[in-house]
Amino acid sequence: MTTRVLDDFPARLTAAQRALLEAEVPVFSAAEMERRRKALSAAMAEAGVDHVLMSGGDRKGSAIQWLTGWPPGGGHYVVFTPGQTDALFVKNPNNAALARILAPKTMVDWAAEGSTSLMIKELLKRGAKGKSVGIIGSYGHALHERFVAAGITPVDMSKAYTKERSIKSAEELEFLRVGCAMTDAAVEALERELKPGLTEYQLADVIERAYVPWGGMTQIHYTGVTSMADPSCCVPSQVARNRKVKAGDVVFTEIAASYWSYPGQLQRTISVAADPTPLYADLHDAAEEAFLGILKVMRAGTTMDEILDVASSIAAAGYTVCDDLVHGYVGGYMQPILGTRERPSASVPNMTLAEGMTIVVQPSVMTKDAKAGVQTGELVLIKKDGIERLHKAPRGFRRSA
């Protein structure tokens, strides 16, 4: 097995994107950061709060990173007050040094008493006692008790934040295009290196070698492996197993490589040293029909009914889906989240698509007995009169040598 680094990866990027890649720490412009602060301040005014607490994070596009540049773990907090310096409280002492580099315009602090105590003291110092504070991010019962004891009333502002993140700015799209190129490279590496004898562990290594050397991080890489002649797996596994790939298998995958919290996402299906069986070819044809049909109707102003009408082709072909069919992505997992009318994911949101949204369309078509399935799909950008593909990886049912 080889895990060749793509030495030509920068050639996939524009000059502006290569400049991001070459920077020690890629940063957004002062104008972009001020845009975010103004948007947050406007949402606060609408909610009637003077301060916002951003809490927690999983390094996958949290509000803390969006505002400060710091990719947090759990137990990290930012206090935001318009007109004042942002205050970041980290959980562990070894977090502080790097946080001060990645969030240079933020006051960073740690103390043995803990980040929660420091954060509450900062809110009280800023006059939050007896007032409401907006909450963006995780907020559990233990934190609620601390707020009550301090005389602070929480106001959930997560929906307002998610709404703001659903529309991507021009600068965000530049970061995102790098993440999409990394995701393309990962899918292409998997197709190129896939062969009988590799384990699922080794497939994960092939995938990650395509983007880790260039500063990419793993958002997800799920891979399913099963025999096309006797299938027993219909959806990519969230955790790799020590199962070896065999000739005649099918490998289907969902990969999202992230560049500083801006991930692409691709779903692909690859047969191993064999052509697709009739069942798998038919499954993939049904998935492609739905995928292309949905892309055809997507534009600013598209209704959920328009998407669901097209998606009915899956049931008409005799199949169903094993995952969400459509979902907003980048900056969170966001609306619209749709299954099909025959297999809904949740309540259908009352909304239309808007220009600047980034949406994953992923028909994960499977047999009704859940024994066989395929993946196809990718992240797209919603435009005024249609969509823009953000990925360049080849489409269709792929085949390894």
With tokens 């966001």, the residue in question is: 334
Sign of the dihedral through C-alpha 71, 77, 79, 80:
positive
Q: Which residues are CB-contacts of 319 (< 8 A; sequence separation ≥ 6)?
A: 283, 286, 365, 366, 367, 368
pLDDT number for residue 208: 97
The domains located in the chain, with CATH, are 30-164 (3.40.350.10), 170-400 (3.90.230.10)
**In the chain, what percentage of residues exceed pLDDT 90?**
95
Residue 273 confidence (pLDDT) above 60: yes
Q: How far is CA 134 from CA 40, 49, 78, 127, in A?
A: 10, 6, 12, 14
Residues 338/357, Cβ–Cβ less than 8 Å: no
Average pLDDT in the 227-250 region?
96
With tokens 């009333």, the residue in question is: 153
Residues 95/110, Cβ–Cβ less than 8 Å: yes
For 182-238, the pLDDT digits (tens) are 999 999 999 999 999 999 999 999 999 999 999 999 999 999 999 999 999 999 999
With tokens 């318009």, the residue in question is: 82
pLDDT number for residue 279: 98
Q: Which residues are CB-contacts of 167 (< 8 A; sequence separation ≥ 6)?
A: 354, 355, 356, 357
Backbone phi and psi for residue 357, each to the nearest 5 degrees, phi listed first: -70, 150
pLDDT number for residue 1: 45
Residue 62 structure tokens: 């949290």
Query: What is the b/e burial string over 135-170, where b = at least 16 CB atoms within 10 angstroms of the residue's CB?
Result: bbbebeeebeeebeeeebebbebeebbbebbbebee
Q: Please classify residue 1 by burial: count the beta carbons closer than 10 Å to its beta carbon, then call 0-12 exposed, 13-18 middle and 19+ buried.
A: exposed
Kindly report the pTM of this predicted structure: 0.95
pLDDT number for residue 6: 54
Alpha-carbon distance of 333 to 359, in angstroms, equals: 10
For 315-358, the pLDDT digits (tens) are 999 999 999 999 999 999 999 999 999 999 989 999 999 999 99
2 falls in which pLDDT band (50, 70, 90)?
very low
Average pLDDT in the 109-117 region?
96
pLDDT number for residue 73: 84
Give start and end residues of each alpha helix (H) in 166-277. 170-193, 200-209
